[in-house]
Amino acid sequence: MKINAVTRGVFRRLGLKSPPCSHDGIDSELSPVSIPEDYKALITQCFRRLGLPEDGICISVRPVGQRSSGQDVYAAFVKVTRWDASVASMFNELPTIEKMIDRGIRRSDMSRYSSFAGVWFRSPPKSEERPAVVH
């Protein structure tokens, strides 16, 4: 494989003697299909750490737009499916949840391939399903 002087300079700066090997059939990039699932897994993990049962909420992640750089923008939508004390107390922990999610995204490679718009919450349509008091 013949490489030009600029490429050799880049490899030298990175401390590499030769270009990394490329193996056909191996794809280390995130695909657009896996990005929403990766966001969903990260968000689900944050809710689990706070003790929220999975049957209390339903999480979906979908693209909501595109940045001027061409990067897709994703948002998470959390629908409350069952009101109980743990779900109601979750709303007191929203700043903590947002920080956990943001920190997780920054530590992952997802921010290299996409942008995250945030978490949006939606309550059940029937008002009688909500608790009388949310602290």
Instruction: Give me the DSSP letters along 76-88.
Output: EEEEE-S--HHHH
Query: Residue 59: which residues within 8 A CB-CB, separation 6 or more?
Result: 40, 43, 44, 47, 76, 77, 78, 79
Mean pLDDT, rounded, of the chain: 75
pTM of the model: 0.65
What the chain holds in terms of domains, given with CATH numbers, is 26-125 (3.30.300.20)
Closest CA relative to residue 77, chosen from 135, 134, 128, 117: 117
**Residue ranges for the chain with pLDDT beneath 70:** 1-33, 124-135
118: CB partners within 8 A, 6+ apart: 75, 76, 98
**Residue 24: per-residue pLDDT:** 45
Tens digit of each residue's pLDDT (9 = 90 or more) over 96-116: 888 989 998 888 888 888 999
pLDDT in tens, 77-101: 988 888 778 777 877 888 888 898 9
